[in-house]
Chain A
Amino acid sequence: EAQVTQNPRYLITVTGKKLTVTCSQNMNHEYMSWYRQDPGLGLRQIYYSMNVEVTDKGDVPEGYKVSRKEKRNFPLILESPSPNQTSLYFCASSAGLAQETQYFGPGTRLLVL
């Protein structure tokens, strides 16, 4: 089954404790992206990757890191989480840059205390 998977689905952590949210897709998509969803603000792009070893900042990259060592994986790293990073996070992938549909993972709910 073609899908985007994220782990963990739910995470509670404390300020400053490094964490990684994994994202994997099995559709051989070149393009991957991370979004965060906050009430009243909708979804905003954090980082994106056009292909292996090619990543760039989205609209709200502060406090996040990403890597793209393999085509299928695009982990999101919070080196020192803060309470304002409490949010619902989505990973998405698409075949390319044109109008191809972006398929979303199931989401990761993060609470930073």
Chain B
Amino acid sequence: AQKITQTQPGMFVQEKEAVTLDCTYDTSDPSYGLFWYKQPSSGEMIFLIYQGSYDQQNATEGRYSLNFQKARKSANLVISASQLGDSAMYFCAMRGHGGATNKLIFGTGTLLAVQP
């Protein structure tokens, strides 16, 4: 069965510092996709970054980068130069290749608080 594990319920980071949010996954699919979403207090789910299992390079999107270690089955999100607006809940998610549901499997999330 596919599973996403986020072991950090909450984290603090100082403004302008970098922070890493951990995510490990479990799947037997040879092809899969990994996603990170941000959920601010207003509730919407905002797509941040995507990593395909066959991608050779780690994904980057502005201040977001994904540290993908396939052998360790980890897909950590790195936010550089944290800003107050980064305070939110962050979810790691995975989509397997098999099946027609296109279902995303979500972790339980990490609540990030950026301190001035």
Q: Which residue numbers of A lie inside 8 Å of B, CB to CB? A: 31, 33, 35, 40, 42-43, 45, 48, 50, 56, 58-59, 88, 90, 92, 94, 97-99, 101-107, 109
Contact of A107 among B45, B93, B102, B106 (CB under 8 A): B45
Q: Chain B residues with Cβ under 8 A from A35's Cβ?
A: 104
- In this complex, how many residues of chain B approach chain A with their Cβ under 8 Å: the count is 25
Contact of A48 among B43, B97, B102 (CB under 8 A): B102
Q: Which residue of A lies closest to B101 (CB)?
A: A48
State the Cβ distance, B36 to closest chain A Cβ, in Å: 11
CA distance A42 to B35 in the complex (A): 15
Q: Are A42 and B47 CB-contacts (below 8 A) given A99-B33, A102-B104?
A: no
Inter-subunit contact A102/B91 (CB<8 Å) = no
Q: Chain A residues with Cβ under 8 A from B37's Cβ?
A: 104
Inter-subunit contact A42/B106 (CB<8 Å) = yes
CA distance A90 to B109 in the complex (A): 16
CA distance A37 to B33 in the complex (A): 21
Return 29 A-B CB contacts under 8 Å, by A number.
A35-B104, A40-B108, A42-B107, A42-B109, A43-B106, A45-B103, A45-B104, A48-B101, A48-B102, A50-B100, A56-B100, A56-B101, A59-B103, A88-B43, A97-B102, A99-B31, A99-B33, A99-B95, A99-B97, A101-B35, A102-B47, A102-B95, A104-B37, A104-B46, A106-B43, A106-B44, A107-B43, A107-B44, A107-B45
